[in-house]
Structure 1
Amino acid sequence: MPNSLPGGLGHVPVAVYSCAATAALVREAERRTRQYADARHWHVAGAWFDTDPTVPLDTRPGWAAMTGALSSGLIRGIVVVGASHVVLDAAQFAALGVLIRDRGGFLAEATPGPPRRAPGQQVRRRALLEGAAGWFPYGHLAPEASW
């Protein structure tokens, strides 16, 4: 089955990965990474995790299984909830991204983007809602209802 349809539309198979000490943190990380992938219309082909963050990345069994899926072509990308699940700092995360890109994949961090608010957006939204509700701040200018 092809990974993408002609014209560049289609699903991108990705894996979600987390490494946390407790099962609750692993579940929360998986939930957030799945939401991130779903928002981008990526198909989550699998979820891998490890439970000991102190173990080096290259010796973690979950990470090894996932990179095997990447090498075999089952997945095209890896989504982590935060860089801290795989490395210690931003420079290491960038280097890991380059390594994965050299293997034909990509690495994504499931962080929310900045809030999309323009100056005055709150005031405009309020005016629109009030207008839709039939309340006009300039009541004397509103046409009279004749029903």
Structure 2
Amino acid sequence: MPNNPSGGLGHVPVAVYSCAAASTALSEGEERGRYYADARHWHVAGVWSDSDPARPLMERPGWQAVTAALSAGMIRGVVVGGPTHVGSDAAQFAALGVLLRDRGGFLADASNRTTGRRTPGQVRRRRDIADAASGWFAQTDRHDEGGS
């Protein structure tokens, strides 16, 4: 069931989630997630964190609150400070993204890391597709010089 944004284009409610043992890593993950959401004009509806990355994701209280907010329609997506906050490798992160998408949401990585196997153009295209799927559209810098 898709969640509809409450304020239309640009007002996409998201959760920022982080999980790390060190408090500085938690704050950095939160800051990175908030910055990522703000840059896309997404509304940060809540910030949750857990301090035990060794605990399975589905047993973490903060993550349970995030999934409850998604199920209740309070948020449309989850922004994480990095893939390691929710999974041990890229495959787990991708699988979680599919799970959230099946529930009508999306998962966004705010770390800006790219893999060496993708070109910058491919990374940008994937980011544009994810932004469009979440309801955020980038402004273009091109102007029609002949039009009025």
Q: Normalising by structure 1, what TM-score?
A: 0.71
Q: SS at the partner of 2:96?
A: helix
Q: What letter corresponds to residue 3 of structure 1 in structure 2?
A: S
- What is the distance in 2 between the residues matched to 1:92 and 1:102? 15
**Which ranges of structure 2 fall in alignment gaps of 5 or more residues?**
115-119, 121-148
Q: How many residues align?
A: 112
1:10 to partner: Cα distance: 3.4
Choose between structure 1 and 2 for higher RCO, CA contacts under 8 A separated by at least 6 residues.
2
Structure 1 stretches lacking a partner, 5+ long: 117-147
User: Within 5 A, what are the aligned runs for 1:87-98?
Assistant: 87-98=87-98
| Cα distance change on mapping 1:2 and 1:85 into 2, 3 Å | closer
Q: Does structure 1 conserve the Cα–Cα contact (< 8 Å) formed by 2:16 and 2:79?
A: yes
In 1, are the aligned partners of 2:5 and 2:11 still within 8 Å (CA)?
no
Tell me if structure 2 keeps the 8 A contact 1:49–1:62.
Answer: yes
Distance 1:57 1:106, change over 3 A: same
Q: Which whole-Å deviations, capped at 9, do the CAs of 1:69-110 have from their partners, x for residues lacking one?
A: 000000000000111111011111111000000111000000
Check conservation: 1:33, 1:81, Cα contact below 8 A.
yes
Q: Structure 1 2/50 Cα, relative in aligned 2: closer, same or farther at 3 Å?
A: closer
* Identity across matched positions, percent: 65
| 3-state SS of paired residue (1:84) | helix
Q: Is the 8 A contact 1:3 1:10 kept in 2?
A: no
Residues 1:104 and 1:2: Cα distance change in structure 2 (over 3 Å): closer
Distance 1:108 1:2, change over 3 A: closer
Match of 2:41 in 1: 41
Residue identity opposite 2:81 in structure 1: V
RMSD value, Cα: 1.8
Note closer, same or farther for the CA distance 1:39–1:25 as it changes in structure 2 (3 Å cut): same
Larger Rg: 1
Partners of 2:100 and 2:44 in 1: CA distance? 17
Say which SS state the counterpart of residue 38 (structure 2) adopts.
Answer: helix
Contact 2:34-2:44 within 8 A present in 1 as well: yes
**Matched residue SS, 1:65:** helix
